Amino acid sequence: MWFGRKKPEAFTAPTDIGDDPRRADPRHATESVTCLLGELLDISSSGMRVRCQGKPPFAVGGVSTVKLSFQGGHLHVTVQERWRRRSGWRAYQLGLKFVNTSPNVMAAIDSLVTFGFIAPDAAAREKPKPKNRKKVRVSIDLPDYYAVLRVQPDAEPEQIHTAYRRLARQYHPDANTSPDAQAKFISICQAYKILSDTQQRRSYDLRQAG
């Protein structure tokens, strides 16, 4: 019997992150990824929690495609709503599980969870799917990492390292109080992470050339 509160529309959401057996992967709170459906509370390699204003656009158990946005691009993923509960006036908290997820999209989600952006080699593993299967799309507009570090595309590793150290010191939030310093510092770190790794730099150059 239920006294003093409404019975949940599905099973109740977990109260502590990481304790829910329906999503065993580690969950991460992130401000670098946003969801058009509503506020992204946490995300893992297998699902995410979202708080949306108003009644959700699909039913419990329904499958839909949602868009995740991050610096430099966006990612469309297919999700199934596993549970929902009210979260304040006219707001709902949803538990969404990633479904029909190809290996390259899983790699992209792992990169988002870990770094807040998708490394080029994480999005290069998609294989053609039969036309009668649902598609999960990855759409990425990669920034010009060479321009971010102010080096030429044929720069040697030592030049890239030197440019990174100079710019990181210049825009580190502890040393630079300008409003855009933190965003520039993050972009510099992302650029260096890609260009300092031989394999990721090669993948990045191929994607930019194609």
Q: Is residue 1 part of a domain?
A: no
Helix H or strand E segment including 195: helix 181-195
Q: How many domains does the chain have?
A: 2
User: Which residues lie closer than 8 Å to 125 by C-beta, 6 or more apart?
Assistant: 103, 104, 107
Q: Token digits for 118? A: 């998708």
Q: Is residue 175 part of a domain?
A: yes
99 vs 21, higher pLDDT: 99
Band of pLDDT at residue 159, cut at 50, 70 and 90: very high
Judge whether residue 139 has pLDDT over 70: no
Q: Is residue 26 part of a domain?
A: no
Supply the Cα-derived Rg of the chain in whole angstroms.
Answer: 20
Are 138 and 76 in contact by the 8 Å Cβ rule? The answer is yes
Between CA 21 and CA 44 the distance in angstroms is: 13
Q: Which of 140, 161, 183 is the last residue of a domain?
A: 140
Between CA 189 and CA 155 the distance in angstroms is: 17
Q: Which of 124, 140, 156 is the last residue of a domain?
A: 140
Are 82 and 22 in contact by the 8 Å Cβ rule? The answer is yes
| Model pTM score | 0.47
Mean pLDDT of the chain: 75
Would you put residue 25 in left (φ > 0), alpha (ψ -120 to 50) or beta?
A: beta
- Specify the 3-state DSSP secondary structure of 81: strand
Nearest CA to 52 out of 19, 79, 24 is that of 79
> Looking at residue 136, what DSSP letter applies?
-
Residue-wise pLDDT tens digits, 116-135: 666 655 544 444 444 444 44
Vertex 183: Cα angle to 178 and 184 (nearest 5): 80
Band of pLDDT at residue 141, cut at 50, 70 and 90: low
Judge whether residue 20 has pLDDT over 90: no
**The residue type at 35:** C
**Residue 114: predicted pLDDT:** 67
Q: Which of 121, 140, 159 is the last residue of a domain?
A: 140
Residue-wise pLDDT tens digits, 70-96: 766 777 888 888 888 888 777 888 888
Q: Is residue 193 part of a domain?
A: yes
Same domain for 199 and 100, yes or no, is no
168 vs 133, higher pLDDT: 168
Domain containing 160 equals: 145-209
CATH number, position 198: 1.10.287.110
Same domain for 96 and 177, yes or no, is no
Between CA 147 and CA 118 the distance in angstroms is: 18
